[in-house]
Amino acid sequence: MFEKVLVANRGEIAIRVFRTLRELGIGAVGVYSEGDRAALHVEYADEAFLLGPTPAAESYLAADRILDVAQRAGAQAVHPGYGFLAENAAFAYAVEDAGLVWIGPPPAAIELMGNKTAARNAMQEAGVPIIPGTTDPVGSVEELLALGDELGFPLLIKAAAGGGGKGMEEVHDPAEVEQAFERAQRQGQSYFANPDVYVEKLIVDPRHVEVQVLADSHGNVVHLGERDCTIQRRHQKLIEETPSPAVDDELRQRIGAIGVEAARACGYRSAGTVEGLLTRDGDYFFMEMNTRIQVEHTVTEMVTGLDLVREQILVALGEPLSVGQEEIELRGHAIECRINAEDAARGFLPTPAAVTGYREPAGPGVRVDSGVAAGYEVSGAYDPMVAKLIVHGVDREHARQRMLRALDEFWIEGPTTLIGFHKALLSHPCFVAGETCHGVVESEELAARAAELGGASNSLSPGTTAPVRTTERVRTVEVDGRRFEVRLSEPEPEWRALARRRQERAQHGGAGAGGSDAVVSPMQGTVLSVAVSDGDEVEPGRVICVVEAMKMENEVHAHRAGTVRSLSVEVGRPITTGQVICTIAAD
């Protein structure tokens, strides 16, 4: 058994891995950036080491610094969690070259599956069905247009080194090809240091169904059933469940067999996920393989009773899998909701802020994986996920009702979160019926309902209460023998009211924060691209610039026709909420 393991990650996944390490009697070594000095994962680790400044490139992505810490701490192994360096083959090789054990798949498998075009070729050769499209990178707009003629629109342009929903652009007609191609290339370079893209036929209204696999170094490969991850925004998952409401036993065996074959085809070891698309006609296509533990591994743990991180560690030690395929039984139904710091009422804009109040739900069948508490600052430098809420029930309807109860109990004050969104969607007829909810997730109807249930203001839903407190925010009183909780507040200072109104104007649309001609940033972040120059004539809706915040790209558009004046932003420079980007003078 290892004496110490370094977890090269932060937040809730670091704490998740630490917990299993403690159960195995292994010392947990944590790492942190300057911006994470007060983070919970730093407190939870047995020992923790500073990597560097807040930007991930100078801390959590600094492989040499992580390896130096591992040597200083006396760790024997490295667990990467997910994100950051988890699917970086060069880092996995470097870990092994340093004499440490990599708790993950062989670097060669990461390398193969990390290149999506090479992975598609390997799967095709192994007889695994792939989505129609290219198996080589596409190098020009002209090639894309030709593919549109060959495959038919719509198409999906994808970063060849991508994952996690990054670098994916839908193209519905030839007029969209050039801009979509440029965006996908830019995201590929920004997130994966590789601008190569490939093309797939866009399957309309499919289910995103993935298979959890486990493999050891003794030739054993098993699947743990499927997860349905169809509920997404911007190609990134929001709700996951298992089993899928669209998969029966026969289809489950077929999908599971595809997952096992895909793992064998790349010489896999450890935990991994084979992702695919299930069409309305029942066809299942390989999409990609994620060579790491997934965010949504929790729902599989709930229905199988297995600790997937424990399995990863034991496999890394050379042990065989603890279970065979015939021993795996799926019991009940599990659902996970990602509680992100985003505002569904404003197009899922990120909302970094300090957490001023926090209470987690509890009770039968409820699990929370979180890395925050009251007083914690949700930073715009990292992913917007605040916590993961997971429930388990005897069947899907039981789990759905339990999730609604748990969401009602979950109280987060400070950043706007997706709690209201999840309440609205889980109550929507499309979700109740187990449908794909195509067109509903990002609809104005659901956004309005999410705001009403707390998505835009973090107000508590009817029938719930804030935790009992004795601070200047909340007092408990009795009137005629009945208990009430009341909130005491002082009048808002005028300077703060002006600042708040300015920010609200900026967040809700375009003009107003710097005069009626101003275009302002609705968020804090970094400018990724600028699409106009001083003197350009623009129409309403024209993209002015793209701002990255919390690992998401957000386009800022012109709110009126006119001429661009006083452009004040540059690529790579930071930008603040409400900052004037330019003015648009009416013709």
d(C-alpha 548, C-alpha 524), whole Å: 8
Neighbours of 533 (CB within 10 A): 9
What's the confidence (pLDDT) of residue 522? 83
CB 31 within 8 A of CB 60: yes
Fold of the CATH domain 207-321 = D-amino Acid Aminotransferase; Chain A, domain 1 (3.30.470)
What's the confidence (pLDDT) of residue 489? 64
Fill in the amino acid letter for 145: L
What's the confidence (pLDDT) of residue 504? 57
Bond into 154 cis (ω within 30): yes
Position 93 pLDDT exceeds 50: yes
Residues 506-523: b if buried by 16+ CB within 10 A, e if exposed: bbeebbbbbeebbbbbbb
For 375-430, the pLDDT digits (tens) are 999 988 888 999 999 999 999 999 999 999 999 999 999 999 999 999 999 999 99
Average pLDDT, the chain: 90
The arithmetic mean of pLDDT across residues 7-11, rounded, is: 97
The arithmetic mean of pLDDT across residues 43-51, rounded, is: 96
d(C-alpha 379, C-alpha 540), whole Å: 32
Position 519 pLDDT exceeds 80: yes
Position 553 pLDDT exceeds 90: no
Q: Could you say which DSSP state residue 346 is in? A: G
Q: Could you give the C-alpha distances from 296 to 57, 113, 216, 273, 395, in angstroms and in order?
A: 25, 19, 21, 10, 18
**Residue spans of beta strands (DSSP E) within 305-430:** 333-340, 342-343, 349-350, 353-354, 357-359, 366-370, 377-378, 385-393, 411-413
Quote helix, strand, coil % in the chain, to nearest 5.
30, 30, 40
**Superfamily grouping for domain 132-201:** ATP-grasp fold, A domain (3.30.1490.20)
Position 556 pLDDT exceeds 70: yes
Residues 6 or more apart in contact with residue 360 via CB below 8 angstroms = 368, 370, 387, 409, 410
End-to-end CA distance of the chain, in Å? 73
Position 562 pLDDT exceeds 50: yes
For 429-444, the pLDDT digits (tens) are 999 999 999 999 999 9
Q: Is domain 332-464 in CATH 3.30.360.10, yes or no? A: no
| Domain boundaries of the chain, sorted by first residue | 4-103, 132-201, 207-321, 332-464, 494-585
- Residue 234's pLDDT band, with cuts at 50, 70 and 90, is confident
The arithmetic mean of pLDDT across residues 363-383, rounded, is: 93
Comparing 6-20, 38-52, 410-424, 482-496, the range with the smallest average pLDDT is 482-496
List the one residue out of 501, 524, 340, 365 whose CA is nearest residue 420.
Answer: 340
Cα 575 from chain centroid (whole Å) = 23
d(C-alpha 100, C-alpha 5), whole Å: 10
User: May I ask the CATH architecture of the domain 494-585?
Assistant: Beta Barrel (2.40)
d(C-alpha 68, C-alpha 71), whole Å: 5
User: Which secondary-structure segment (H or E) carries 469?
Assistant: none
Neighbours of 261 (CB within 10 A): 17
d(C-alpha 206, C-alpha 336), whole Å: 20
Position 154 pLDDT exceeds 90: yes
The arithmetic mean of pLDDT across residues 20-49, rounded, is: 96
What's the confidence (pLDDT) of residue 477? 84
CB 570 within 8 A of CB 501: no
For 460-481, the pLDDT digits (tens) are 333 333 333 333 486 788 888 8
List the one residue out of 16, 9, 63, 54 whose CA is nearest residue 31.
Answer: 9
CB 282 within 8 A of CB 302: no
User: Which secondary-structure segment (H or E) carries 448?
Assistant: helix 444-452
What's the confidence (pLDDT) of residue 467? 37
What's the confidence (pLDDT) of residue 510? 46
For 252-303, the pLDDT digits (tens) are 999 999 999 999 999 999 999 999 999 999 999 999 999 999 999 999 999 9
Bond into 243 cis (ω within 30): yes
CB 237 within 8 A of CB 231: yes
Q: Is domain 4-103 in CATH 3.40.710.10, yes or no? A: no
The arithmetic mean of pLDDT across residues 326-334, rounded, is: 97
CB 4 within 8 A of CB 39: no
Fold agreement between 207-321 and 332-464:
yes
Unique residue bearing structure tokens 């708790």: 103
Q: How many CA atoms lie within 13 A of 548 on its CB side?
A: 20
Q: Could you give the C-alpha distances from 209 to 119, 227, 429, 484, in angstroms and in order?
A: 18, 6, 21, 46
